[in-house]
Amino acid sequence: MTAAYPHARLRRTRAAAWSRALHRETMLTPADLIWPLFVTEGSGVEEPIASLPGVSRWSFDGIAERAREAVTLGIPCLALFPNTQPGRRSEDGREALNPENLMCQAIRAIRDAVGDGVGILTDVALDPYTSHGQDGLIDEAGYVLNDRTVEVLVGQSLNQAAAGADIIAPSDMMDGRIGAIRAALEDEGYANIQIMAYAAKYASAFYGPFRDAVGSRGLLKGDKKTYQMDPGNSEEALREVALDLAEGADSVMVKPGLPYLDIVRRVKERFEVPVFAYQVSGEYAMIEAAAAAGAGDRDALVLETLLAFKRAGCSGVLTYHAAHAARLLT
């Protein structure tokens, strides 16, 4: 029970900057950010991504430099995504199992540059490696085969673990893959490698620029609605999270981010576990477009949206604005 007006004036605590800071309920720091990076071949290569203004693909030396930058800015973790060249893509995505693929070489480049100074999160899914752009193996009709795909994902996870990954992050949405990956990691002596499950990943319209970045947009036949979630569902998200936690996930992710803050809140309140969200490429591009059009101040838009994730219950956020936000916060 609170007092009534005029004894209670909620504007009192908003009257001065020091008081607003003192009463602020949610804080955002660089330690809340995970920085997604795109890896490409070569040396000294930076390839700007037209649909993601300000974001580039980097060769290994550039990835190493971004790792040093992350350490300086206080960003605790990098998330890696490869732009596999067309000649290395195949129907079965076998490049995912190559210990010299882009992902594994980028992991080692980061380790050489900063040691354990930053965490490395690696994406587990086959869409960067398949010639058809789907996240798994397909049958003659183009349907993604669950159990056969899981077998490959286990091998992909072990490949990344051997290269030095800290967090395995399966984004494929196959049933049962968390349990299979956790069992394999335990059996191979990788007990301390974390799994961050893309537990509630929706079949969203916000992924377009990401598919440009990893080179799969022009390859994708059909859609991913048979394995990614329907945007209208929230109870199903809780079932997905419950299954992934039961199978051994250390943390869970909701993707996309801002349009699904209600899911973040429900997951946090129901399970009381670390919940992350991915502020995906389409969300990033919308902020950049709004700022370019003069519809809002870029810095303010970036910080307000990231704060919203924290307020909703996120332990951290994957965002392409990570470096920019960290500079604003330090």
Neighbour count for residue 29 (Cβ, 10 Å): 12
Pairing of β 46-48 and β 56-58: antiparallel
3-state SS assignment for residue 38: strand
d(C-alpha 265, C-alpha 149), whole Å: 31
Neighbour count for residue 192 (Cβ, 10 Å): 7
d(C-alpha 145, C-alpha 148), whole Å: 6
Nearest to 153 by CA among 132, 133, 180, 130: 180
DSSP string spanning 171-232?
A: -S--TTHHHHHHHHHHHTT-TT-EEEEEEEEB--TT-HHHHHHHT-TTT--S-STTTSBPTT
Cis ω before 6 (30° cut-off from 0):
yes
Per the CB < 8 A criterion, the answer to whether 271 and 241 are in contact is: yes
Cβ contacts of 319 within 8 Å, gap of 6 or more: 33, 34, 35, 36, 278, 279, 284, 306, 325
d(C-alpha 105, C-alpha 112), whole Å: 11
Give the residue numbers marked as catalytic.
201, 255
How many residues are there in the chain?
Answer: 330
Can you read off the two tokens belonging to residue 217? 């947009």
Q: What letter would DSSP give residue 44?
A: S
Per the CB < 8 A criterion, the answer to whether 320 and 279 are in contact is: yes
